[in-house]
Amino acid sequence: MIVFFKHSATHAQIAELQLHLKQLGLESQLVPGKNICLVHKLTDDTILAGFDFISHTKAISSSFQLSSNQYKEETNFDVNGIPVGSAYVNIIAGPCSVESEEQIFKTAEFLSKHQIKFIRGGAYKPRTSPYSFRGLGKEGLKMLHQAAKQYQLNVVTELMDLSLLDEVQQYTDIIQIGSRNMANFYLLGELGKIDTPILLKRGMQANVNEWLLAADYILSGGNDKVILCERGIRSFDPMSRNVMDVGVIPLIQSLSHLPILADPSHGTGDSRFVGALAKASLVAGANGLMIEIHPDPKKALSDANQALSFEAFETLLSEIELLKPTIKKLKPTSYSLVV
């Protein structure tokens, strides 16, 4: 159950309530900065009568609480003036890895020419093999940041480990938590303590409940800027890298107020199918796309097979342009495509 306090509630009153609950065997957890408290295992709020600094309560029927749309209807916020959230559509594009100044500046220039507001690129890469290219590290972050600054773009890059938090935070506008770290609960808890928006990718074996509970780890720490990103799940079939779960987009939207992006690059692993799944995801209601592009895809040092060339990305953008009226009709009036 979520307990909402009146603004006038004092620390002493809340501490008294928590002690009372503890004596009844109920654990409670304050959400920093939000004037709310989660009371675990409480379904009937009659025991709260008499605590008149409580404004109201909400019983949430799912195991995930703060990511549930029973708690809140929408999540919208802005990133340096660009609106992001469940009422918007944004496109994030860029290479899998930052490889060189030339590569990242060319990409940034190309994106800004097309009014794209977010550039992605990994500097610390999670690679299956320790012998593969693992990113340029801090040098890569600096290049990405410089290129973004020059072309007025916002940066999205992956954080692999808590030890790199300060460094990554310095160079990025949105922190990406990759599929392999979705279940790194200690890391997620720490991200709850900061204010930087978090793009939380779906674990490749994670079900929806596990994914939303991972989001709750961040939200319950007080950081409410969480964006989900479907990036495909593992299946039995080696014919495709992953199975892009387009159905999860309306499913998540029926359960959660959090925005959900689609990453058809990792979702398919094949540049030939990225466009089809990108369009399908937008029509299914996605709040945006994350697409891997490269000035020379064949030479990409990671995920070469799924990177779109600039030309292929331009074709996709023109197809999305045609879809805009349809997407708008399928969505509430507040909806706007930020491209």
**CA–CA distance, 284 with 90 (Å, rounded to integer):** 15
Contact 108, 148 (CB under 8 A): yes
Contact 289, 261 (CB under 8 A): yes
**CA–CA distance, 204 with 314 (Å, rounded to integer):** 29
Interface residues for Mn ion in 266-325 (CB under 5 A)?
303
Binding of ligand PEP by 269 (CB under 6 A): no
Binding of Mn ion by 216 (CB under 5 A): no
Counting residues that bind Mn ion (by CB under 5 A) gives 2
- In the complex, the smallest distance separating the C-beta of residue 125 from ligand PEP, rounded to whole angstroms, is 7
Q: Report what 231 binds from ligand PEP, Mn ion, none; CB cut-off 5-8 Å by kind.
A: ligand PEP
Q: Report what 126 binds from Mn ion, ligand PEP, none; CB cut-off 5-8 Å by kind.
A: ligand PEP
Contact 103, 143 (CB under 8 A): no
Longest dimension (CA), the chain: 68
Interface residues for Mn ion in 132-161 (CB under 5 A)?
none
| Spatial CA neighbour of 339 closest among 329, 330, 319, 331 | 319
Options 81-89, 172-180, 247-255, 269-277: segment touching ligand PEP (CB under 6 A): 172-180
**CA–CA distance, 123 with 1 (Å, rounded to integer):** 40
Nearer to ligand PEP, 5 or 313 (CB): 313
Residue selected from 117, 225, 266, 294 as contacting ligand PEP according to rule CB under 6 A: 266
Counting residues that bind ligand PEP (by CB under 6 A) gives 9
Tokens of 96: 């899998």
- In the complex, the smallest distance separating the C-beta of residue 288 from ligand PEP, rounded to whole angstroms, is 14
Contact 68, 77 (CB under 8 A): no
Residue selected from 85, 94, 122, 140 as contacting ligand PEP according to rule CB under 6 A: 122
Contact 92, 118 (CB under 8 A): yes
Binding of ligand PEP by 145 (CB under 6 A): no
Site of interaction with ligand PEP (CB under 6 A):
96, 122, 126, 178-180, 201, 231, 266
